Structure 1
Amino acid sequence: MPRILLIEDDHSVRISLAKALGRYGHDVASAPTGEEGLRLFVEHSTELVVLDLMLPTMDGFEVCRRIRAAGTVPIVMLTARGDDIDVVSGLEAGADDYVVKPVEPRVVDARIRAVLRRGAPDRAGRSATTYGDLVVDRLSMTVTRAGQHVAMTPTELRLLLELSGSPGQVLSRQQLLESVWEHSYLGDSRLVDNGVQRLRAKIEPDPAAPVFIQTVRGFGYRFGPV
């Protein structure tokens, strides 16, 4: 039973969503504020955080940054608006996925399960593959660069596995949305672009001049090195 932390200040939304996610098979702890949420996050073994962005005192963006600084627990953010600035800011703060409120609990459950699936072992490849000083082990689901372990969220890892699984092949944003995020709406391509940006920051010697993940303008991304 996945352990979920729900941080949501609206009492009725928090209670109803927590109960619904419990019926879907999740073990849910909830908090009305960012401060309380961070306390529960530290005290409990949390597998995923569902985080409202519009919180009192400490907003969801700051909570997201603090959780991400502490580790790689996946974060699904709730936003009352689908505005690009809110979504992009949340993704840049470290969120893995998002849903726009009002939203049905089954949709939140689907996003939770999709994110958790990204951390499942990839049985398609059973040996480590080396790309320069980057080593990707698909069986152990680990990544090292220059001999140092690279900590990744499930989303970042799944994106790297997807890209590196077809070296030299251009993968469109639509392909990556469907295979990594399990989204079908191309308007969510900002998920892909932000995911690539975060991944580059972790594996590229110089993210401004990427060696491993190249942008193919007008199409998508290609995994190198070339």
Structure 2
Amino acid sequence: MTAVRQRILVIDDEPQIHRFLGPALDAAGYEPLRADSGQEGLRGVALWSPDAVVLDLGLPDMDGKTVLEKARAFYDGPILILSARDREVEKIEALDRGANDYVEKPFGVGELLARLRAALRQSGKSPAPRGPIRAGDVEIDLEMRRVTRAGAFVKLSPREYEVLTRLALGHGKVLTHKDLLTAVWGPAHADDTQYLRVFIGQLRQKLEADPSAPTMLVTEPGVGYRFVGDDP
């Protein structure tokens, strides 16, 4: 019996995006759906209830952030932003309005598919994972509140552990500075980004093979951080 494929709605007015992204999604096991404008995209979200949406910010009939806001009124699935806009404020605003992630144009299909998989995992209805989360030789045991690297116990302060696990449980999603600061230190510290940089630096020293070129605790410049772990 053929498995039901997850449906991915791509809302973009560039035909070439659909020409290469459609077959790439199909080859990866998804069912691609297409919309060429904001209005078409909103109708598609309502009609098809896709498993995830890939949304361009530069649409001919309305700004993609408006589409995002309208879609979020009735759709709670993952929405990934595609954008040629590289201004930090655009990324932050899209995330604050409910986007799960963003990918800058031009982009690699491999990166987009990886971020799509992460967003779909994170949106799953199953409870947060209770077993270990792994990234290379680092293991985070959520049950025991214990972190090891190459099998050796890593001593973390309570705040370091909280920052690390918040990121790890994001399953690859970008967490903004404000998200992390508010969650770990409280609303009064929402703008204390230097606080966060210090803790991220300490975690990288303890956990990264090369703290100056991190591969697990990755910076999204001007926006926040993401945790890059092993695929489950």
Runs in 1 of length 4+ with deviation above 6 angstroms? none
Q: Which one of the candidate residues 68, 73, 76 is aligned to 2:72?
A: 68
Q: Is the 8 A contact 1:170 1:219 kept in 2?
A: yes
SS of residue paired to 1:219: helix
- Superposition deviation, residue 194 in structure 1: 5.1
Whole-Å separation in 1 of the counterparts to 2:94 and 2:129 = 32
- Superposition deviation, residue 81 in structure 1: 2.9
CA deviation vs aligned residue, 1:150-199 (integer Å, no higher than 9, x gap): xxxxxxxxxxxx8xx79x5434767644552437xxxx6xx3335458x9
Whole-Å separation in 2 of the counterparts to 1:4 and 1:182 = 19
- The two structures have a TM-score, normalised by structure 1, of 0.62
How many residues were matched structurally?
Answer: 165
Q: What residue number does 1:29 align with?
A: 33
Counterparts of 1:126-165 in structure 2, within 5 Å, are: none
Q: What residue number does 1:80 align with?
A: 84
Q: Which one of the candidate residues 183, 186, 193 is aligned to 2:177?
A: 193
- The two structures have a TM-score, normalised by structure 2, of 0.60
Whole-Å separation in 1 of the counterparts to 2:34 and 2:165 = 35
Whole-Å separation in 1 of the counterparts to 2:43 and 2:165 = 38
Q: What residue number does 1:152 align with?
A: none
Residues 1:219 and 1:51: Cα distance change in structure 2 (over 3 Å)? same
Runs of at least 5 residues in structure 2 that lack an aligned partner in the other structure: 132-141, 147-157, 201-232
Runs of at least 5 residues in structure 1 that lack an aligned partner in the other structure: 126-161, 201-206, 221-226
Q: Which amino acid aligns with 1:81?
A: R
Q: Is the 8 A contact 2:163 2:180 kept in 1?
A: no
Whole-Å separation in 2 of the counterparts to 1:53 and 1:91 = 12
SS of residue paired to 1:180: coil
- 1:15 correspondence with 2:19: yes
- Superposition deviation, residue 95 in structure 1: 0.3
Q: Which one of the candidate residues 132, 150, 170 is aligned to 2:160?
A: 170
Q: What residue number does 1:180 align with?
A: 170
Whole-Å separation in 2 of the counterparts to 1:72 and 1:54 = 22
SS of residue paired to 2:89: helix
Counterparts of 1:95-114 in structure 2, within 5 Å, are: 95-114=99-118
